[in-house]
Chains A and B, each alone.
Chain A
Amino acid sequence: MSKVTFRKAVKRYGNFTALQPLDLDIREGEFLTLLGPSGCGKTTTLRLVAGFIQPTEGSVYIGDEDVTGKPPQKRGIGMVFQDYALFPHMTIEENIGFALKERGASAGEIKTRVWDLLQLVELPGVKDRYPTELSGGQQQRVAVARAVAHTPRVLLMDEPLGALDLKLRESMQIELRNIQKSLGITTIYVTHDQIEAMNMSDRIAVMNEGVLEQIGSAEELYDTPKTKFVADFIGQINLLPVTGAEQRSDHAVAGFNGSEIKVVMPAERRVPTGSAVLGVRPEQLTIVPKETAVNGANRLDGQIMSTRFVGNVIKIEVGIGMAQTFVVDMHPSAVAGLTAGAEVGVVWQPESGFLLED
């Protein structure tokens, strides 16, 4: 088990910068997810740890060892690939024992280890089969077993659940997380699926256009996103362009369509100096009759455009002027009379909103 550290690591391809200078500390035994849309640099970051590519500048450390320039064979890591990358001409036993054989383990050692690992991934009795004879989920477990067989210092996973259907993906998320915990192995996981990231990770590093936007636990990213991108990418949010944002004594204010909006943010958060957006989550909003006095809370009046039933909540879209809408999550029991066309007020507490740089 080792920590992984990036020090000012940059990756450029000609004029294109795939990864802007990255400083990142991944802790020992941690499950860290690199999350972002395609082309955000998350796979580049993973491949820098793997050694498939080398940084243009800066360094990568595994444990206390500077592995910059070292080939993948000598890094002592394991990896699960998106397409599983199981060797089709080898049996499951030969696949899982691959790394051990390369390290000169005896046939007996390999046999015992493979048996243990097949118990761990709950696939006893498949050792003599070939990968094509297993289902996608089973192949995925074998790929995990192969990646941890030689007790690597770090486990890398590149969108390993992408090819599975939704139900299987959810159960595999829990299972992968349990395997990782039982082995206590430092894991770097790449995905573009924020739910998956939130389900599995100790911490999530959100990336966009080659830049690490923010790193933190799922709660931190959800409750206190530092950038508009993170706010938008993690969970659902209403983002409202506001004007004249400024800090007053104990709260901040900003203007929208002639109304003043009050925002109370934790002391460490600054009001942006340039153009700003107000962020507020749909579940923090409630709907009241139009022009209700709200006593210290914020209220914007508007008209219901549509309502959508999604199971646990009803999503109500309210037009609030200037071609902007707010989505409000309401409990299905509290929506009597809230139909498209109704004139209403949308209300939220000053503590629920935050101001972000646009």
Chain B
Amino acid sequence: MTVRWDLLLIPSFLFTFILLSVSQTLFLEGSFYKDLGLGRTGDTLDLVNYVRVFTDGFYLTTLWITVKVSALATICTLVFSFPVAYVIARMRSSWGMILLSGIVVSTFITIVIKVFGIIIIFSADGWLNQFLMSTGITTEPYSIIGTQEGVVIGLMYFTLGFGVLTLYSVVQTIPTSLEEAAEIHGASRPRMFRRVILPLAMPGLVAGGLMVFNMCMGAFTSAALLGGGKVFTLPVLIQRTIMMEVKYSMAGTLAAVLLVAVILINVLSIILIRRMHFARGVLA
């Protein structure tokens, strides 16, 4: 008799499926009924919420800002985390593992605590401004709280560790002998990096980039705290729409738009990358 270990999957599958699909179905279904405010919805199927989202400048701006800050944060995260990942992956001593553990630990500290660190330092009466003003470098406090730059920094702070961990494993798959082969056959370090490391890391950079981007698109805490009620991204707006405006079906509509936008951007990116020449031979 064969042991059917795969049967063990059924309980957790059912549990997850019910929790996820029931709530999402309710949410999605709600988005197709007109929102009458104060938790009330119309009783006929209607696209009026969607029409509103795509005609109201406020919602469109929010969608654009969400994509923009997420894309900026993704690019910055990749740029900052790749060198770190590269150096750690190429370390031969036990320092590599120690540094990596440090990154893991700091990555999984809750973002609430980490964002408060940013606020303490960068807010209008924070340490940085106190220092700048006391030394006379600036006369007026400048704060990143409530600006899009602030939200980008918050999102980066949230995703940097994940970026390093992903790219670390990408760099590790590139044998050092390829670097040596490039160098001994005449490539300088920058040339070697451009002709060997970068193209070989590209599939990993794309996958890691999409992961970071998706995290940013859905990030609530860092966007809400650093947005300071002035910068709205879709997750922040959805929370506001539910909790403060009590417009359930409108929030459902926004959530659906966010979901579809994320899926579309991911699929388009993958199609684009597939078409590029350098992916040949690596993805094969």
Contacts and interface: CB of A to CB of B under 8 A. Distances in A.
Interface residues of B, number: 22
B177 A81 contact: yes
A353 B178 CA distance: 48
B181 interface: yes
Given A83-B177, A85-B177, A88-B200, A146 B185 contact: yes
- Max chain B CB contacts within 10 Å: which of A50, A89, A98? A89
A156 B200 CA distance: 25
A99 B191 CA distance: 12
A98 B184 contact: no
Contacts of A156: 184
A82 B175 CA distance: 12
B187 interface: yes
B281 A85 contact: no
A89 B177 contact: no
A132 B284 contact: yes
A81 B186 CA distance: 16
Given A50-B180, A72-B180, A102-B191, A89 B185 contact: no
Nearest to A47: B180
Interface in A144-168: 146-147, 150, 156
Contacts of A103: 186
Interface in A85-134: 85-91, 98-99, 102-103, 130-132
A78 interface: yes
B282 interface: yes
Contacts, number: 75
A87 B280 CA distance: 12
Classify chain A's interface size.
20 to 34
Nearest to B198: A89
A81 B180 contact: yes
B175 A85 contact: yes
A129 to B, nearest CB: 9
B185 A150 contact: yes
B105 to A, nearest CB: 30
Contacts of B280: 89, 130
A73 interface: yes
B175 to A, nearest CB: 6
Nearest to B282: A89
Contacts of B131: none
Contact of B282 (A52, A88, A146): A88
A51 B180 CA distance: 10
Contacts of B64: none
B183 interface: yes
- Max chain A CB contacts within 10 Å: which of B178, B186, B196, B284? B186
Given A89-B281, A150-B185, A150-B186, 4 more contacts: A52-B183, A85-B175, A85-B181, A90-B281
Which 5 pairs show the lowest CB-CB distances between chains A and B? A102-B186, A99-B185, A85-B177, A85-B181, A130-B281
Interface of B: 175, 177-178, 180-188, 191, 195-196, 199-200, 278, 280-282, 284
23 contacts: A73-B183, A73-B184, A73-B188, A77-B184, A78-B184, A79-B180, A85-B178, A86-B181, A87-B182, A87-B195, A88-B282, A89-B278, A89-B280, A91-B281, A98-B182, A98-B187, A98-B195, A99-B185, A102-B187, A130-B280, A132-B284, A146-B185, A150-B185
